[in-house]
């Protein structure tokens, strides 16, 4: 009974929001903002970063976020709502030029646009912070449980969290790294939970979520870079020896350092693959969903409302399927990143072989 | 392509956010969580081993208890047999003693009977003497006519006395 009432309320809210969305779109059109449907731009706008965070069913209102820029004349801080309307504030505006499209630029006296050092809390940065806080909250909740209840097994959500921790640490990190596991576990677990949270948050379309974080190459770049740094700095003598003097026929390594070249290249391709894999998987998932939704509008524009309605049924069904698939992919990619990082670290920790005989 | 060029600001903040997250969790959360989970896993393993041991102990204990009970039963039977034997012996002894005592009592009674008989005989004899003397007195006083008659008389009196006794 209670659940039925809740369902009814949710359905009503959704219908009301849809009506409101339709109304505001109509208003938007009526005010002469009639915009050509540009699928490519829409997709990249949604995949990319933004100053301010959009609110559902509204084209103009955004949650303002701080803009922090180090321009030619020092530090500037202001809220993003001063410039997201296209205005210029304090010499800064969001560029519409080809080169710096959608980014904050400083307008110089001669009218040229210069990109300042941009430390703005953009939508993605805010999303990162939200994800980080969520992870801290989740993990600390689990820790508090152990502090308070000692040996008792956690129940409910904490039990599930423990299951995931055990899956990552007990079934992956510990078997691969063995006695080194406790040293690297904090990094790997943090990476796993941070990636998973960012992945899942990206799938939620409204405010706390919706930022395409792990589908942004900057985020995966940092993660891959960290794995690379850890791998490189925990490399044993044997690891470096295998790179610069591998056990292969002399002809392959002495006059022309062919193997060395391949090995050194391998050092970099491994984290590069990590970076691209996570980025491409998450971005493509988002992109497919966006394209499926855009199909409705494309077909409506091309063939009229009737076809658009028909398309929307298929689109929504496929979008739902894709989003559910993305939930799975979110988990798999977070896990794959973690297990590959673990394997790369374990490869860096090699001990000399004892099979010389 | 904007998508493939990492934005400096985002890289910077990602680095900061990840490092903060790592420092906080690595310092206060993960080691503790891992330790707690491993401790609990150990505890559960130990608990299972302990329970198995306890179960085998329990099974053994049952067998042992059965053995003890059987032994106790045997002992009980033994004690009961002993007791009944002892009781019989006691009764036997008591009976024997009682017989000896009874014999003693009857012997004593016989002795005293004999004595009293002897005393009675003595008394009788004295009385008979007295009687004889009295008779003799009477005889003398009646001027005894004939010896035979007198003897018959004495005999008669004696018979009378004997019949009286």
pLDDT at B162 over 60: yes
For residues A203 and A328, membership in a common domain is answered with yes
User: What 3-state DSSP class applies to A89?
Assistant: strand
Closest Cβ opposite residue A190 in set B10, B13, B26: B26
Token readout for A88 is 């210029």
A301 to chain B nearest CA, in Å?
A: 27
Best CA proximity match to A143, nearest among A196, A334, A135, A342? A135
The band of A211, judged by pLDDT with boundaries at 50, 70 and 90, is confident
pLDDT of A356: 47
Q: How far is CA A164 from CA A158, B19, B42, in A?
A: 10, 22, 19
Of A31-35, A245-249, B23-27, B130-134, give the lowest mean pLDDT range: A31-35
Closest Cβ opposite residue A226 in set B18, B29, B32: B18
Gap between the Cα atoms of A110 and A133, Å rounded = 43
Closest residue in chain A to residue B5, using alpha carbons only: A217
Of A199-203, A258-262, A314-318, B21-25, give the lowest mean pLDDT range: A258-262
For residues A141 and A71, membership in a common domain is answered with no
pLDDT at A208 over 60: yes
Q: Do B11 and A153 touch (CB under 8 A)?
A: no
Closest residue in chain B to residue A224, using alpha carbons only: B15
Mean pLDDT of B109-117: 91
Those residues of chain B whose CB sits closer than 8 Å to some CB in chain A are 2-15, 17-18, 20-22, 24-26, 28-34, 36-37, 39-40, 43
pLDDT of A155: 85
For residues A108 and A208, membership in a common domain is answered with no
Q: Do A119 and B13 touch (CB under 8 A)?
A: yes
Token readout for B121 is 């005989």
> Which of A96, A120, A144 is where one domain is finished?
A120
Closest Cβ opposite residue B3 in set A44, A124, A162: A44
Quote the radius of gyration of chain B (alpha carbons, Å).
62
Considering only CB atoms, which chain A residues are within 8 Å of B29?
A: 139-140, 142-143
**Is the pTM above the cut of 0.80?**
no
Q: Is A73 part of any domain? A: yes
For residues A198 and A284, membership in a common domain is answered with yes
For residues A99 and A233, membership in a common domain is answered with no
Q: Do A219 and B10 touch (CB under 8 A)?
A: yes
For the stretch B29-85, pLDDT in tens is: 999 999 988 888 899 999 999 999 999 999 899 899 999 999 999 999 999 999 999
pLDDT of A357: 42
For the stretch A277-334, pLDDT in tens is: 999 999 999 899 989 988 888 888 888 778 888 888 888 899 999 999 999 999 999 9
* pLDDT top residue among A73 and A220: A220
For the stretch A249-292, pLDDT in tens is: 777 777 778 888 888 898 999 999 999 999 999 999 989 998 99
pLDDT at A34 over 60: no
Closest Cβ opposite residue B14 in set A118, A166, A222: A222
Cβ of A27: how many Cβ atoms within 10 Å? 11
For residues A133 and A111, membership in a common domain is answered with no
Q: Do B32 and A143 touch (CB under 8 A)?
A: yes
* pLDDT top residue among B111 and A356: B111
* pLDDT top residue among B96 and A310: B96
Percent of chain B with pLDDT over 90: 55
For the stretch A124-159, pLDDT in tens is: 899 999 999 999 999 999 999 989 987 788 888 888
For residues A183 and A239, membership in a common domain is answered with yes
Gap between the Cα atoms of A200 and A157, Å rounded = 16
> Which of A120, A141, A157 is where one domain is finished?
A120
For residues A78 and A210, membership in a common domain is answered with no
A127 to chain B nearest CA, in Å?
A: 10
For the stretch A91-132, pLDDT in tens is: 888 888 877 888 888 888 887 888 888 888 888 899 999 999
List of residues 6+ apart from B36 with CB closer than 8 A: A146, A151
Q: Is A86 part of any domain? A: yes
pLDDT at A31 over 70: no
The band of B143, judged by pLDDT with boundaries at 50, 70 and 90, is low
pLDDT of A81: 82
For residues A316 and A198, membership in a common domain is answered with yes
Gap between the Cα atoms of A42 and A242, Å rounded = 49
> Which of A90, A120, A150 is where one domain is finished?
A120
pLDDT of A88: 83
The band of A339, judged by pLDDT with boundaries at 50, 70 and 90, is very high
Best CA proximity match to A62, nearest among A75, A49, A71? A49
pLDDT at A61 over 50: yes
Rounded to two decimals, the ipTM of the complex is 0.85
Q: Is A12 part of any domain? A: no
Considering only CB atoms, which chain B residues are within 8 Å of A186?
A: 22, 25-26, 30-31
Query: What mean pLDDT is reported for chain A?
Result: 85
Strands A74-79 and A92-94 come out as unpaired
For residues A288 and A181, membership in a common domain is answered with yes
pLDDT at B97 over 60: yes
List of residues 6+ apart from B122 with CB closer than 8 A: none
CB A104 within 8 A of CB A95: yes
Test the B interface: residue of A67, A127, A213, A218 with most B CBs within 10 Å: A218
A143 to chain B nearest CA, in Å?
A: 6
A81 to chain B nearest CA, in Å?
A: 19
Q: Is A284 part of any domain? A: yes
Q: Do B10 and A125 touch (CB under 8 A)?
A: yes
Closest Cβ opposite residue A122 in set B10, B17, B40: B10
For residues A307 and A335, membership in a common domain is answered with yes
Quote the radius of gyration of chain A (alpha carbons, Å).
25
Q: Is A13 part of any domain? A: no
Q: Is A14 part of any domain? A: no
For residues A75 and A187, membership in a common domain is answered with no
Mean pLDDT of A202-212: 82
Considering only CB atoms, which chain A residues are within 8 Å of B18?
A: 132, 190-191, 194, 222-223, 226
B53 to chain A nearest CA, in Å?
A: 22
Q: Give the count of domains, chain A.
A: 2
Query: What mean pLDDT is reported for chain B?
Result: 88
String of b and e for B126-152 (b: at least 16 CB within 10 Å)? eebeeeeeebeeebeeeeeeeeeebee
Q: Residue A100's domain spans which residues?
A: 66-120
Q: Is A212 part of any domain? A: yes
Q: How far is CA A351 from the centre of its chain?
A: 36
Q: Is A297 part of any domain? A: yes
Closest Cβ opposite residue B21 in set A122, A151, A190: A190
Give the A:B interface size as CB pairs under 8 Å: 117
Considering only CB atoms, which chain B residues are within 8 Å of A283?
A: 3
pLDDT at A354 over 70: no
Closest Cβ opposite residue A120 in set B9, B15, B24: B9
């Amino acid at each position: 009974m209670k659940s039925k009432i809740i369902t009814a309320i949710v359905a009503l809210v959704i219908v009301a929001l849809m009506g409101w969305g339709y109304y505001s779109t109509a208003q938007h059109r009526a005010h002469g903002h009639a915009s050509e449907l540009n699928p490519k731009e829409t997709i990249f706008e949604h995949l990319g970063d933004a100053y301010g965070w959009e609110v559902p069913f509204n084209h103009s209102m955004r949650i303002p976020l701080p803009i922090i820029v180090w321009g030619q004349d020092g530090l500037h801080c202001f809220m993003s709502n001063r410039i997201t309307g296209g205005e210029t504030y304090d010499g800064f505006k969001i560029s519409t030029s080809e080169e710096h499209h959608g980014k904050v630029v400083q307008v110089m006296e001669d009218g040229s646009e210069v990109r300042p050092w941009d430390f703005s809390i953009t939508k993605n940065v805010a999303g990162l912070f939200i994800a980080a806080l969520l992870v801290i909250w989740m993990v600390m909740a689990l820790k508090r449980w152990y502090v308070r209840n000692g040996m008792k097994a956690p129940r409910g959500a904490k039990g599930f969290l423990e299951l995931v921790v055990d899956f990552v640490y007990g079934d992956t990190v510990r078997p691969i790294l063995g006695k080194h596991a406790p040293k690297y576990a904090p990094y790997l677990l943090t990476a796993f939970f941070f990636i998973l949270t960012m992945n899942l948050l990206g799938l939620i379309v409204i405010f706390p979520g919706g930022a395409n974080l792990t589908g942004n190459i900057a985020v995966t770049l940092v993660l891959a870079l960290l794995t690379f740094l850890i791998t490189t700095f925990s490399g044993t003598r044997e690891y470096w020896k295998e790179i610069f003097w591998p056990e292969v026929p002399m002809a392959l390594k002495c006059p022309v350092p062919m193997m060395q070249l391949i090995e050194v290249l391998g050092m970099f391709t491994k984290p590069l693959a990590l970076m691209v894999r996570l980025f491409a998987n998450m971005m493509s998932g988002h992109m497919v969903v966006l394209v499926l939704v855009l199909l409705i509008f494309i077909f409506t524009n091309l063939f009229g409302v009737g076809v658009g309605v028909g398309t929307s049924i298929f689109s929504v069904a496929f979008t739902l399927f894709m989003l559910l698939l993305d939930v799975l992919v979110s988990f798999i990619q977070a896990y794959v990143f973690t297990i590959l990082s673990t394997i790369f670290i374990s490869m860096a920790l090699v001990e000399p072989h004892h099979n010389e005989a | 392509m904007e998508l493939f060029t990492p934005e400096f600001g985002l890289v910077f903040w990602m680095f900061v956010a990840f490092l903060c997250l790592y420092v906080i969790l690595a310092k206060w959360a993960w080691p503790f969580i891992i330790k707690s989970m491993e401790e609990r896993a150990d505890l559960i393993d130990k608990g299972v081993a302990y329970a198995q041991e306890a179960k085998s102990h329990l099974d053994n204990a049952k067998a042992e208890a059965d053995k003890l009970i059987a032994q106790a039963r045997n002992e009980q039977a033994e004690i009961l047999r002993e007791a009944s034997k002892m009781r019989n012996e006691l009764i036997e002894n008591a009976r024997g003693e009682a017989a000896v005592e009874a014999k003693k009592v009857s012997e004593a009674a016989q002795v005293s009977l004999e004595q009293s008989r002897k005393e009675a005989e003595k008394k009788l004899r004295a009385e008979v003497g007295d009687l004889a003397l009295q008779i003799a007195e009477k005889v003398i006083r009646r001027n005894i006519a004939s010896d035979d008659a007198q003897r018959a008389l004495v005999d008669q009196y004696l018979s009378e006395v004997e019949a009286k006794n």
